[in-house]
Amino acid sequence: MTNLLSFHNDQAIKDKYVDRVKAHQKADEIIKGSYWEEGKGCGVGCTIHSSDHKAYQTELGIPTWLAHLEDEIFESLATEDAKFFPLQFLESIPVGVDLERAKAPFLIFVLEGALKTFDNSEYKDCADSVKEVIHLYRSGCTELPRFSASAYAAAYASAAASAYASAYAAAAADAAAAADAVLLLLMMLLMMLLMMLLMLMLLLLLVMLLMLAHTL
């Protein structure tokens, strides 16, 4: 099976979407809280002119999970910063790279960060399950049942934890169970962390992702 390459390895495709987003930015049509309506929308909407994150994969050669990540970061930024983010996002991605290779390192980074937010000794079963998911990603495992088993174990263990620790740790384990759970984890981060800490983490995640993309 042929690997998905960014912009389908075609500079013209990148130029098309970069120019589109530039035009929306210049016209002050990039807004928060709406995907695509009457010529205005969020980062995703102004890129693909719809709310279908899967279109990133078919039209731009960018994995769906990364489209969800862009969406979450965009909505968490201050309004003025958000207006510039979609263009920065597209321009930072090289043409012809396999962005799927950045997924495992990214999830490992997120889950390791999640482990630091609760007492691993007090909630040992939950922490051990999250660590197992990290191990599976590090080992290159692609067997979904093994990820699901670890996620289930974390959820079961968290039933006896406090409301904060159980909700957050369960979300962290779920994030590694399937691709779309990246969005769930980031949403949980938005609810549970202080705003300043959240903004710092999101920016760090973005920097790491962009550095990975340039080295692939």
Digit-coded pLDDT (tens) for 53-105: 999 999 999 999 999 999 999 999 999 999 999 999 999 999 999 999 888 88
The 3-class secondary structure across 156-216, one letter per residue, is HHHCCCCHHHHHHHHHHHHHCCCCCHHHHHHHHHHHHCCHHHHHHHHHHHHHHHHHHHHHC
Dihedral Cα 131, 175, 14, 82, nearest 10 deg: -110
What is the residue extent of each domain of the chain?
6-97, 101-215
Q: How far apart are CA 116 and CA 11, in angstroms?
A: 41
Say yes or no to pLDDT of 51 above 60: yes
Q: At what angle do helices 195-215 and 85-92 cross, to 10 degrees?
A: 30
Digit-coded pLDDT (tens) for 16-37: 999 999 999 999 999 999 999 9
Q: Are 107 and 137 in contact (CB under 8 A)?
A: yes
Digit-coded pLDDT (tens) for 103-119: 888 888 888 888 888 88
Tokens at 55, concatenated? 């279109």
